[in-house]
A and B are shown apart, each in its own frame.
Chain A
Amino acid sequence: MFKQKNYLALGAVILVALVLLSLPTRVTSRLKLAVGSWFLPLFGLAGATQQIPADLASSVLPRRELLKQIDNLRTENQQLKSQAVQTAAVMRENDKLHALLGWQQTAKWQLKLANVVMRDPANWWFTVQIDLGARDGIRENLPVITENGLIGRVSSVRQTSSQVVLIGDPNCRVSATVENGARDNGIIIASDPLDNSRVNLTYLASGANLKPGQNVLTSGLGGIFPKGIPIGQIVDARSVEFGLYTEARVKLNANLGSLEQVWVLFP
């Protein structure tokens, strides 16, 4: 049953696997980069294929519908402009007050739009690939958000793409604050493999006054995520480890299941 060539094949595969697994992270990330480049034609093809229905839809859309959309966008633009003017005034006032009190100025966020091009083929990691890489100034640990709130951080960077580890993955722990009177602090940890719309907020104080619907924001502790990025809302809470601390379930604001465009935040 076992011929010599079987032993040879077995030995060869075990050797290759062991060599690859024992390589340092820097080398494996370069290898991943090299192997990932083999798929570039497929990415191009997929992008072009996705563009065809959009082009087709825009070419067959009636002119009246387009004009209506332009009107709506114009109105929305005006509203946003007036809000921006108001926000700028508040920011100026805030800066003045900061200066009067001698507080450190909060750095303004810079954002870069990225497209989600791929999800992790393995079911046991919550990661996505985005189409911005080192050439766009992306570096490891930059926070990634959507218009609804935080979704994760950049975990590895290639030349033209990056990997983003999403909230709910064990490799993306976020220090968070509950928007209540006590401003309870906790840590967002892994979620259920099937439900990535909810995460657990743990290590909250044992007597934390948590109510469903309270907002959860980044606390700014840990040095990766800036303070005040919305994460989600409290669903329920329970006492764990014989009352040692409290754990709450948080419904995420962002829908991690249907990510298409995300913003990389440069704090």
Chain B
Amino acid sequence: MNLFQTILILFGAFLGVFAEGVLTFPRSVLGAQVDVLPVLMVYAALNARLLAVVLLAIFGGIWADTFSANPFGISILPLFTVGFSIFTQRELVLRDLPFAQVVLGAIAGAAVPAFTLLMLFSSGHKPVFGWGTLWQFAVMSLGSALLAPFIFKLLDWAQSAFGYQSRVENSFRLDREIRRGRILKK
């Protein structure tokens, strides 16, 4: 857990937001675009410091709103709510299991847009909403679920390839060394 991991997550969010806007797939086929930010938030909440969760919520939310008709900053709270909830319970989650990653990805993929829509409606905005929104939620949730193990593997690999591991404290101390005498060599 170091600064490189936080930078890596933020860089992933930066690229992810750009890709969501530029790529027509899967929107052209399934009618909805999959959001990468909830999955990254799950990763950050399970594997990184609280600072990473905070920064991802703020910067990810701001980046997503920049190219959207969303009011500026409205995506911050939904992302943070999901990230913070997972972060506080992360000791109970088996984070290395793909099943846990898939389930959390699916929940986050549906919860973040649901909270965002709730905030939009409560602030008086009128987004496109109808029965089709349920399908879009299903696509976003499923997409996030499928993306989660892949993003976990990718970020873990990038972290091990480019980052540095924090030094593990060794239990060996010179003053506590047991010097074995001749008596044992008998």
Contact = CB atoms under 8 A, between A and B. Distances in A.
A16 to B, nearest CB: 6
Contact of B69 (A21, A36, A171, A258): A171
B126 interface: yes
Nearest to B131: A192
Interface string A189-220: 01111110000000000000000000000000
A82 interface: no
Given A17-B73, A17-B77, A170 B126 contact: yes
Given A36-B66, A118-B22, A129-B67, A170 B72 contact: no
B47 interface: no
Interface string B126-167: 111111110110001000000000000000000000000000
B53 interface: yes
A236 B130 CA distance: 20
Given A13-B77, A258-B28, A122 B18 contact: no
Contacts of A2: 88
Interface stretch (A27-35, A95-103, A130-138): A27-35
A181 interface: no
Given A9-B54, A119-B27, A129 B88 contact: no
A127 to B, nearest CB: 5
B140 to A, nearest CB: 7
Q: Which of A28, A123, A169, A171: most chain B CB closer than 10 A?
A: A123
A123 B130 contact: no
A119 B140 CA distance: 16
Given A35-B62, A169-B128, A170-B127, A20 B20 contact: no
Contacts of B140: 123
B33 to A, nearest CB: 6
Interface stretch (B95-103, B113-121, B177-185): B113-121
Contacts of B33: 119, 121, 123
A266 B129 CA distance: 32
A261 interface: no
A195 B132 contact: yes
User: What band does the interface of chain B fall in when counting residues whose beta carbon is under 8 Å from A?
Assistant: 35 or more
Given A170-B126, A191-B128, A122 B63 contact: no
A125 interface: yes
Interface string B6-24: 0000000011011011101
A155 B65 CA distance: 15
Interface string B45-59: 000001101100110
A252 B120 CA distance: 27
B21 to A, nearest CB: 4
Nearest to A32: B66
Contact of B84 (A9, A17, A120, A195): A9
Q: Which of B73, B117, B135: most chain A CB closer than 10 A?
A: B73
A201 B76 CA distance: 35
Interface string A162-186: 0101001111000000000000000
Given A13-B58, A257-B28, A127 B68 contact: yes
Given A38-B14, A129-B21, 12 more contacts: A6-B50, A32-B72, A39-B67, A124-B128, A125-B69, A165-B69, A190-B126, A193-B129, A193-B135, A194-B32, A257-B28, A258-B28
Interface of A: 1-2, 5-6, 9-10, 12-14, 16-17, 19-21, 23, 28, 31-32, 35-36, 38-39, 42, 46, 117-127, 129, 155, 163, 165, 168-171, 190-195, 257-258
Interface of B: 14-15, 17-18, 20-22, 24, 27-28, 31-33, 35, 50-51, 53-54, 57-58, 61-74, 76-77, 80, 84, 88, 113, 116-117, 120, 123, 126-133, 135-136, 140
18 contacts: A1-B88, A5-B50, A6-B50, A9-B84, A12-B54, A13-B76, A17-B77, A21-B74, A21-B123, A35-B62, A39-B14, A119-B33, A120-B67, A121-B21, A122-B70, A123-B113, A124-B113, A193-B31
